[in-house]
Chain A
Amino acid sequence: DQQVKQNSPSLSVQEGRISILNCDYTNSMFDYFLWYKKYPAEGPTFLISISSIKDKNEDGRFTVFLNKSAKHLSLHIVPSQPGDSAVYFCTTGTASKLTFGTGTRLQVTL
């Protein structure tokens, strides 16, 4: 039973356009959410996070939105760049445990 779901396994976006990656979760007790980015044969790297007391957090080209009533969060990347091509994981959990989604592979095309 997956507590974190990323329903789109892949996404292709043209360079300069907006990339929107989505994530749904089941447990309303989750209060901290993170996005990780992963290149092939490397470990995930932390990208951006959001606490449940906020509904938006922005860091440069990356913005995460949280809709607690819908148990949904999304990552917006604008403008998308070829170097953004990677697998993006949505995670959440308690202080000592992270639960990952299956990931969405983003391909930014020229």
Chain B
Amino acid sequence: ETGVTQTPRHLVMGMTNKKSLKCEQHLGHNAMYWYKQSAKKPLELMFVYSLEERVENNSVPSRFSPECPNSSHLFLHLHTLQPEDSALYLCASSQVKGGGTEAFFGQGTRLTVV
């Protein structure tokens, strides 16, 4: 496998459920990201992990809990979500270096909260 892989591709969950989204990158990158894309809104950065440490948390509610066990894997644990959390969740990775960076995205998990 190459690139950034996200599982599952689609997820429907009730508001009382607990689920996890998984992301794996095979690019040797040292930074991983979670983004949220809601309808008619810009891509919103949720979390950034650089060298396995969380370096950014953009005021994301605590019902979203990220985990980065190593530089290749990233999880987003979900619990007691709300219907408005329904969105496309995208994982990305990049090689953090001086200057610019190009991020590679997974295909996303389409989450529906019922």
Contact = CB atoms under 8 A, between A and B. Distances in A.
A62 to B, nearest CB: 14
A44 B90 contact: yes
A63 interface: no
A60 interface: no
Interface residues of B, number: 32
Contacts, number: 66
A98 B45 contact: yes
A100 B91 CA distance: 14
B42 to A, nearest CB: 5
Contacts of A45: 105
A36 B94 CA distance: 14
A10 B88 CA distance: 20
Contact of B48 (A2, A89, A96): A96
Contact of B101 (A36, A95, A99, A102): A95
B96 A95 contact: yes
A99 B55 CA distance: 15
Interface in A23-82: 31-32, 34, 36, 41-46, 49, 51
B99 A102 contact: no
Q: Is the interface of A mostly helix, strand, loop or mixed?
A: strand
Interface residues of A, number: 24
A34 B100 contact: yes
Given A32-B100, A97-B45, 18 more contacts: A2-B42, A32-B99, A34-B100, A43-B4, A43-B6, A43-B92, A43-B107, A44-B105, A46-B102, A46-B104, A96-B50, A96-B56, A96-B96, A97-B48, A98-B33, A100-B43, A102-B40, A102-B42
Interface of B: 4, 6, 31, 33, 40-43, 45, 48, 50, 55-56, 88, 90-92, 94, 96-108, 110
24 contacts: A4-B42, A32-B100, A34-B100, A36-B105, A42-B107, A43-B4, A43-B92, A45-B105, A46-B104, A49-B100, A49-B102, A95-B96, A95-B98, A95-B100, A96-B50, A96-B56, A97-B45, A98-B33, A99-B45, A101-B42, A102-B40, A102-B41, A102-B42, A103-B42
